[in-house]
Amino acid sequence: MLSNNQIKHIRFLQQLKFRREFNQFVAEGDTLVLDMLASAYKVDMIVATDDWLQSNALLLNNYKATIISVKENDLQRISALKTPNQVVGVFNMPEITLDIENIKSQLTIALDDIKDPGNLGTIIRIADWFGIKNIVCSPETVDVYNSKVVQATMGSIARVNIFYLDLVDFLKSMQTSIKIYGTLLNGESVYTKTLDEKAIIVIGNESRGISNAILPYISEKLLIPSYPIGDSNSKAESLNASVATAIICSEFRRKTL
């Protein structure tokens, strides 16, 4: 049975300050929790229905975690979802450090103040699909352990490393070693521009794009052309940040096929 203290603890993890204090976060639902268990993340607590615990009894033997069986109704008391789904897991945040040499040898995404949890979750899922191992976020980017982000990643959070760093410092330290791409209104078509296999792709904030402090570090300016080209009439003003990320990552990968 869940104690009141446990209920309180799990609910506290819906708030950023407590996630930081305890270095823990929550992931929910059958698929996501199984993805998390299979990852490098350490599990601290599993709260689940009897059915789920029975189905996964063998697997759970491999983990040192507090395991608590609850009725479906009780999941509601700790879940951040409208419709809780069998299991709630409490995981420890990983201690990972950014390996600059590693970043220089591959494709990395840098997020300049992405604010929408759904966008961040979707971008992590895109990174996972396109084999991008690292995402560097500005400190103002939404917290990756926000439950909406965690759920939107559909398990990809377990396979992509996320770092929060001062983006200016980071790009400054990288600019002589690797090309830094960003989409700008005066950029060159992503379809025709040469794209390096080793690079940093900067994605700007949903409303204001790439910030002024970051602009000087963008060595390669990209543009996703709208269609038909040259027809500025009655056209969408912009693409959603995660949609733009998807199209750009797809272009980087198609060019190395």
* Binding stretches for a copy of itself (CB under 8 A): 118, 122, 125-126, 128-131, 154-156, 159, 189, 191-192, 224-229, 231, 234-240, 242-243, 246-247, 250-251, 253-254, 257
Please, what is the minimum distance in Å from the beta carbon of residue 254 to a copy of itself?
Answer: 4
Residue 182 is encoded by which pair of tokens?
């960003």
Residue with smaller CB distance to a copy of itself, 131 or 216:
131
Please, what is the minimum distance in Å from the beta carbon of residue 71 to a copy of itself?
Answer: 26
Residue with smaller CB distance to a copy of itself, 58 or 229:
229
- For 186-201, b/e burial (b = at least 16 CB within 10 A) is ebeebeeeebeeebbb
Please, what is the minimum distance in Å from the beta carbon of residue 230 to a copy of itself?
Answer: 11
Residue with smaller CB distance to a copy of itself, 24 or 86:
86
CA distance 122 to 200: 18
Q: Are the CB atoms for 112 and 214 separated by under 8 Å? A: yes
Please, what is the minimum distance in Å from the beta carbon of residue 4 to a copy of itself?
Answer: 31
Query: What's the one-letter identity of residue 51?
Result: D
Residue with smaller CB distance to a copy of itself, 160 or 171:
160
Residue with smaller CB distance to a copy of itself, 7 or 243:
243
Query: What's the one-letter identity of residue 132?
Result: I
Q: Residue 174 in 3-state DSSP?
A: helix
Residue with smaller CB distance to a copy of itself, 79 or 156:
156
179 beta partners = 199
Please, what is the minimum distance in Å from the beta carbon of residue 167 to a copy of itself?
Answer: 24
Please, what is the minimum distance in Å from the beta carbon of residue 234 to a copy of itself?
Answer: 5
Q: Residue 188 in 3-state DSSP?
A: strand
- Specify burial of residue 30 (Cβ count, 10 A radius: 0-12, 13-18, 19+): middle
Rg of the chain, C-alpha, whole Å: 20
Please, what is the minimum distance in Å from the beta carbon of residue 2 to a copy of itself?
Answer: 30
199 beta partners = 107, 179
Residue with smaller CB distance to a copy of itself, 175 or 240:
240
Residue 229 is encoded by which pair of tokens?
């080209």
Q: Which of 205, 197, 160 is nearest to 178 (CA)?
A: 197
Dihedral sign, Cα of residue 166, residue 167, residue 173, residue 174: positive
